Amino acid sequence: MNFTQTLKDNQFKNVWTKTILLFLFFFAFAKSNAQILEPVKWTSKIEKKGNNAVLIFDAVIEKDWHMYSQFTPEGGPLALEITFKNQKGNYELVGKAKEGKTKTSFNDVFGVDETYFEGKAHVEQEIKIINPNLKTVDVDFDFQVCKEVCINSSKKFSIAIPSTFKVEDVPVVKEDKLDETKTVGIAVDTVKPVVAETAKSDVKKADSEVVSKEEVPVQAPARSLWSIFFIAFLSGFAALLTPCVFPMIPMTVSFFTKQSKSRAKGIRNAIFYGLSIIAIYVILGLIVTKIFGADALNALSTDVWFNLIFFVILIIFATSFLGAFEIMLPNSWANKADQQADKGGIIGILFMALALAIVSFSCTGPIVGTLLVEAASNGGIAPVVGMLGFSSALALPFMLFAMFPGWLNSLPKSGGWLNTVKVVLGFLELALAFKFLSNADLVLQLHFLEREVFIAIWIAIFGAMTLYLFGKITLPHDSPIQHISVGRLYLGLLTFVFTMYLIPGLWGAPLKLISAFPPPPQYSESPFGVGGSGHAAVNTDAKGLPAGAELGPHGIMVFHDYEDGLAYAKEINKPIMLDFTGYACVNCRKMENNVWSEPEVLPILKNDVVLISLYVDDKRELPKEEQFTTAAGDKIITAGDKWTDFMISKYKTNTQPLYVITDLEGNNLNNTKPTISYVSTEEYLQWLKEGISNFK
């Protein structure tokens, strides 16, 4: 007896009974589709700004979810992409899309600092309207939102332009026009993949402009700024221990204590001297930010020429520190500063600080330059924060020793150890330089500096540094070594251990301590290690891999097309494991790295199932004959569209990772949990065994 017949039955004539049953029916229907998740709710509005308009987009993000910003760097999770659909001839973008408050944290899976929204998101774009008859502005948002799982989603906005848009108009608030292209009758935003970095589409979008995801956020995240300050502060202390700065401490402090009529005045003068040093370097940071612009600095960080130029600059800095030559500012600058310093008073002290900055430039210049380059990659006020940290560490000893002159007796004497510090900094500069060369190589995809080559270069640099610290190598300005100090021995042992740690990276070790520096594992001559040792673990016949298959994570044979994988599974009579994944899915990579690699799980994936990994963010176009439109009106153009539609229509979910074990007819083999996602190794293993057992 069906539900409609039941209602017609005499025993359910009571209207309240019918109402309750209807409620239970629709609740059951909603429950059956509860896996379709919508953790982000959008609204939009338009406001007047002078002669222009500002498009404002706000989102509420459910608790524990986070949505990635348009400024999440390349090689990380999928960044927010904004496409202005009907721009040509109608309006112009004024500046760049701005974002509200975001957070930044290091992603150890992709090795980048990802930027994301939590709780809420705010994006605004100023436009200049050209066409007076413009009725709407159409904007598409493509974004990724993650918790234990990730969802690649899109949102279409159609924002009405008021017929009379005057300055005194009240802002027109408009709820979003819901996208009507739904899947299987479920009322959610269209779920479509966004562009994967590893599979970019060549489709040209007419009359549209995509806002680059490398643009700079309005404000740099606080956590990132604190990191910059701390690193710069440590660099300032390193600069103190160089031959150009360290001997200046007792000389300068003695000058203030002797020239001042009272100890209190000497302390005041020394404090002002320290503050002057800070002011000089902070002004330098302000100048860099002003010249390039806060937005341009971050955009430059992914520019090929920027990275190549700073590779050359850092090589020059490193060569200078190693003793080949000295980088010096013109002597006339120092002489003029000294002449002004001789006049005394507040102005004289200020010029004394300037003279210190000029005279010590051969030692501090490379450090300051490197800090500015690194800070520039973060954009915003990062160069100012970096210079504040560096100069604070540089100025602090001058102020403290002026307050407590007796501490000068505890300072070690100047000597050859100062040049050792300088040389060590040179080795570090040299290692860092190759990070910039690697960035350029990755952008151009030249495969000139692949992972193995990068690691080999670092092994050579830190190996040479170890030999230097042990006294086996001497450089031009080194003093004769009768013995090495205990501190130098410990530092040599530390670099030796680090060098040994790097060596397994040539054979595919992850090297998590430096994951942010070398190219990713897939960008290598052999993604499974030197010699291809990872390949041996895959069971294939002498002819090699079957048609359509390739080696995936941990040497598992994987198909990326469902039909190819199904045909092979029928040939060898094994169950299929569907893996709905994404190129930029963080938790997909975590499952592969942390669960698939476990010794209990890996043999099962290699030997007992046929793995088919379907990428929902694959933007490669399908052949024309394979493109189609769903019953709900969705256009299936790319491979990612196809697998997204397959996942939602068959398994009623839009999250990744998603794992399904099926028989050769496509029927689920797991009874308790037909699908599974981001889980522990134990739960995943039990689920695998159940599905395979039911197939047998």
Mark whether 345 and 358 lie in a shared domain: yes
Count of domains observed in the chain: 5
pLDDT score, position 122: 93
pLDDT tens-digit map of 265-296: 777 777 888 888 888 888 877 776 666 554 44
Cβ burial of 406 (10 Å; 0-12, 13-18, 19+) is: exposed
Confidence label for 482 from pLDDT (cuts 50, 70 and 90) = confident
Mark whether 83 and 155 lie in a shared domain: yes
Mark whether 609 and 501 lie in a shared domain: no
pLDDT score, position 602: 92
Mark whether 397 and 253 lie in a shared domain: yes
Whether 638 is in a domain gets the answer no
Tell me the residue type at 4: T
Domain span holding position 394 = 220-414
Q: Residue 493 pLDDT more than 90?
A: yes
Residues 6+ apart with CB under 8 A from 2: none
Look up tokens 């390193």; give the residue: 238
Whether 360 is in a domain gets the answer yes
Confidence label for 662 from pLDDT (cuts 50, 70 and 90) = very high
pLDDT tens-digit map of 611-659: 999 988 787 888 888 888 887 777 888 888 899 889 888 888 878 889 9
What's the CA gap between 145 and 40, in Å, rounded?
8
* CATH number for the domain harbouring residue 568: 3.40.30.10
Whether 649 is in a domain gets the answer no
The backbone torsions φ and ψ at residue 110, rounded to the nearest 5 degrees and listed phi first, read -95, -10
**Long-range contacts of 463-471, Cβ-Cβ distance < 8 Å, separation of 24 or more:** 463/499, 464/427, 465/424, 465/427, 465/495, 466/492, 466/495, 466/496, 466/499, 468/423, 468/424, 468/427, 469/420, 469/424, 469/495
Mark whether 408 and 518 lie in a shared domain: no
- Name the domain boundary from 390, 414, 438: 414
Token code pair at residue 606: 């290699």
8 Å CB contact between 194 and 72: no
Mark whether 391 and 522 lie in a shared domain: no
What's the CA gap between 629 and 636, in Å, rounded?
6
The enclosing H or E element of 20 equals helix 15-32
Residues 6+ apart with CB under 8 A from 208: 83, 84, 85, 87
Residues 6+ apart with CB under 8 A from 249: 240, 397, 398, 401, 408, 411
Cβ burial of 412 (10 Å; 0-12, 13-18, 19+) is: exposed
- Name the domain boundary from 503, 533, 563: 533
Q: Residue 187 pLDDT more than 50?
A: no
Mark whether 678 and 547 lie in a shared domain: yes
Angle of helix 331-341 versus helix 345-359 axis, rounded to 10: 160
pLDDT score, position 415: 62
Q: Residue 221 pLDDT more than 50?
A: no
Mark whether 577 and 612 lie in a shared domain: yes
Mark whether 260 and 373 lie in a shared domain: yes
pTM beyond 0.75: the answer is: no
Residues 6+ apart with CB under 8 A from 662: 575, 576, 578, 668, 669
Mark whether 61 and 90 lie in a shared domain: yes
Mark whether 255 and 279 lie in a shared domain: yes
- How distant, in Å, are the alpha carbons of 320, 347, 354, 475 from that of 341? 29, 7, 9, 36
% helix / strand / coil in the chain, to the nearest 5? 45, 20, 35
> Three-state DSSP class for 373?
helix
Whether 624 is in a domain gets the answer no
**Sequential DSSP letters for 21-32:** HHHHHHHHHHHH
Whether 690 is in a domain gets the answer yes
pLDDT score, position 104: 82
Mark whether 365 and 437 lie in a shared domain: no
- Scored b (16 or more CB within 10 A) or e, 516-531 reads ebbbbbebbebbbbee
What's the CA gap between 647 and 631, in Å, rounded?
15
Percent of the chain with pLDDT over 90: 17
Whether 633 is in a domain gets the answer no
Q: Residue 4 pLDDT more than 50?
A: no
Look up tokens 């007047």; give the residue: 48
Token code pair at residue 370: 């490197």
- Name the domain boundary from 514, 533, 552: 533
Q: Residue 207 pLDDT more than 60?
A: no
Whether 634 is in a domain gets the answer no
Whether 631 is in a domain gets the answer no
* CATH number for the domain harbouring residue 181: 2.60.40.1250
Higher pLDDT, 185 or 476: 476
